[in-house]
A and B are shown apart, each in its own frame.
Chain A
Amino acid sequence: MRVLFVATGALPHLFPLVPLAWACRAAGHEVRLASTAGVADELVRTGLPAVVLATAPDSRLSQVRARLVPLIHSQPPWPLDWATHPESLNDAKREYLRLLGAALALGADGMLDDLLSFAGQWRPDVIVHDAITYAGEVAAQKLDIPNIKHNFGTATQPPLHTTTPEYHHLFHRYHTAPRAHPTATIDPTPPTMRLPTTERIPISERYVPYNGSGAAPMPVPGARRRPRVCVTWGHTSARSLGAAAAEPYRLAIDAMADLDAQLVVVTTAAQLNAVSDLPPMVWTAPDTPLHLVLPHCDLLVHQGGDGTTLTAASLGVPQLAITRKPDAELVGARIAAAGIGKHLRYQEIQDEQGPAAVRRAVAELLSDRSYLTAAVALREEIERQPPPASIEPELAALVG
């Protein structure tokens, strides 16, 4: 079988495909992993055969991004249940979602010429595409082969393609029409972390963390006398905001400075430079995959990204999400609802009470055992899902 995996050029969408792609390769199938030039290095470092799409910069996309990035990061807190009750959103918020949906359609358009040319030559039997990578849907439709949608976590909901006509225009431009449903959907989100949806029941997949490739911290961190709190803020805002991405977590680090805890900061080397003069109890692990650090930690403070959240969930580590944008708020709300952690919104902790609120939340998460109990229960739920290796035969059966 030839399986073409494709994700838009963003790590939260690329990384979740990697374990299943390797599962297919290790079962002897031919596999290709395609994404855009902006993530070419990360693509190659998965070890999978890489296909680089959209090597020329797309000025339309950079214009839309220039408009979107400040808009995304200047949102006030949204209602906690906005994904399941989009009808309650005001016009400005709906316009925001429409813009996001349009940007995704534009991103798909920028990948499609290359993707169709590659797929036309390579003749995949099936395309597995990240849930918001519409280019995969169009290519599967054009090649008349099955398309498997691969969800990326809680914030896969709401489906942004329903917010904008550009999604339909995209298919029309390639002389085809959207399918009513994907051939199947694979969801690595454990049921507890999923939002209600009207879509068909997905194939559940165990979340096996792939947070990028890298070396385990050496020497292995020893037994801890004090609690160890990991602080991270993912890749996405670091890429769009640069040094400013670190601000909420710098606040959190300073707020925790007088707690009897050791802090571990996991981020890129570039972001670490942006948080200079760290307090002395901070240990830094630049460019280290999160899942190699978290087994040595008691708590994770993070940005509310799906990959980050599910990585901590799969390792049974309680979490504090400090979010600053609407999609992350969905994840933070699920963390709080599942009892595995707490959710603070950066917009609400920027006054002088902010540091105390962070400190209180961390102290409670470290002392109240109920968070750990819930985190362990969620870890066990994740471990009950079939691993990527067990999904591979289902894929093969769908292809026939």
Chain B
Amino acid sequence: MRVLFTAVAGRPHLFPLVPLAWACRAAGHEVRLASAPSAAEIIVHTGLPAVVIGSGPRLSDSDRADLVRAVYGQPPWPRDWPATVTRLDDGQRALLARLGRYLVTAADAMTDGLISFARQWKPDVIVHDAITYAGEVAAQKLDIPNIKHNFGTATQPRLHTVPEYQELFHKHRTMPRTTPTATIDPTPPSMRFPTLAEPVLDMRYVPYNGSGIVPRWLAAPAHRPRVCVTWGHTAPDALGESAVDPYRMVIDALAPLDVDIVVVTTAAQLDELGPLPPRVRTAPSAPLHLVLPHCDAIVQQGGDGTTLTAAAAGIPQLAITCKPDAEIAPGRLCAAGAGIHLYYQELRPEPRCEPIVRDAVSTLLTDSAIAAAAGRLRVEIGEMPAPADLVAAIEKLG
């Protein structure tokens, strides 16, 4: 069987596909992982056969800056907002439509290349990230099954309800399918929205946070609790140096506590952090799942991959979020009792924000109910079928 995996050129969308793609390869199937050129180095580091197609979304610098400002300039949205999109105000709905149009632009830049590669390579099935519409178009054009692959809690709400989504299919003289052939969801059920349940194939979240070297020093016995501080890749990509501001505040807030702090981010972001207090160590570019087994709590940005990686490790989490889509996973995390969610928009103007963060982390380290909930989440994830167990279902469809 030939399985074509595809995602837009962003780590939150590419990384979740990697364990399943390798599961197919290890079962002897032919596999390709296709994305746009800006992701070439990221795909090559998965070890999977890479296909580089099309381009990234064509946006002017000012349009891009404007979109980033709009996303990062939001006040907090209502808790669990994807479950009640109809109750959002006009401005919020306008932003969702704008994001939907952005995703269509991203799909449009990849679709010709993807169809042309697929026509030659002749996949039996396409597995595409949930917001990578190019995969849907290509599967429709080739008349083969499409398997939608969710990327976490924030796969909701679906952003394709803009006319441009339909137009993308019309441009390629085809129509959207009513539903994907199948949907694979690595989100554990207690991190999903019960009211938005769709038929899915459950898959265990096996973390792939990029490739890298095991940070050996973390294996040494710890003399005090260890708190990991990370903020993912998306904010640094969008905001550059200012992405560090919330986490610089977190590090300063935690400095008086009797804890060791492990900062996991890129080397460039570490430079922006400036001088660090004692008891802070850094693990530049270390895959998060290699760090977290040695930590007692994590402070993070609300990304799905980060949240699920910590959930799979069974550690309590504090999410400090800056934008609406990052609020989604932490909302469900709190509902599961496995963490605390603070809004940076509310902390920032607060002169006494550091004690709030410090108290939240102290709670994570001492509250046995949170630890128990984090443990339950880890067990729930561990009991789901592994990616290797999903290969038979894909074979049946392909």
Contacts and interface: CB of A to CB of B under 8 A. Distances in A.
Contact of A45 (B19, B44, B206): B44
A86 interface: no
Contact of B388 (A26, A291, A292): A26
A389 interface: yes
A208 B28 contact: yes
Nearest to B293: A30
Contacts of A32: 214
Interface string A356-393: 00000000000000000000000000010001111010
A294 interface: no
A219 B120 CA distance: 10
A26 B20 contact: yes
A44 B45 CA distance: 7
Interface string B44-55: 111111111100
Contact of A49 (B46, B290, B391): B290
Given A45-B44, A45-B45, A389-B388, A19 B25 contact: yes
A46 interface: yes
B386 A28 contact: yes
Contacts of A214: 44, 49-50
Contacts of B23: 22-23, 26-27, 389
Given A23-B388, A27-B388, A206-B28, A50 B212 contact: yes
B94 to A, nearest CB: 38
A180 interface: no
A26 B214 contact: no
A216 B27 contact: no
Interface in A35-61: 40, 43-52
A303 B115 CA distance: 37
Contact of A40 (B28, B47, B48, B213): B213
Contacts of B52: 215, 218
B106 interface: no
B103 interface: no
B386 A27 contact: yes
Interface residues of B, number: 44
A213 interface: yes
- Size class of A's contact patch? 35 or more
A47 B46 contact: yes
A289 interface: yes
A26 B205 CA distance: 10
A25 B19 contact: yes
A50 B214 contact: yes
17 contacts: A22-B47, A23-B23, A23-B388, A25-B206, A27-B387, A28-B204, A28-B386, A28-B388, A40-B213, A47-B211, A49-B214, A50-B211, A118-B214, A213-B48, A215-B44, A218-B52, A219-B116
Given A27-B389, A215-B49, 15 more contacts: A22-B26, A23-B23, A26-B206, A27-B23, A44-B211, A46-B211, A49-B290, A51-B216, A210-B47, A213-B47, A214-B44, A215-B44, A389-B26, A389-B28, A390-B27
Interface of B: 18-20, 22-23, 25-28, 32, 40, 43-53, 116-117, 120-121, 204, 206, 208, 211-214, 216, 219, 287, 289-290, 382, 386-389, 391
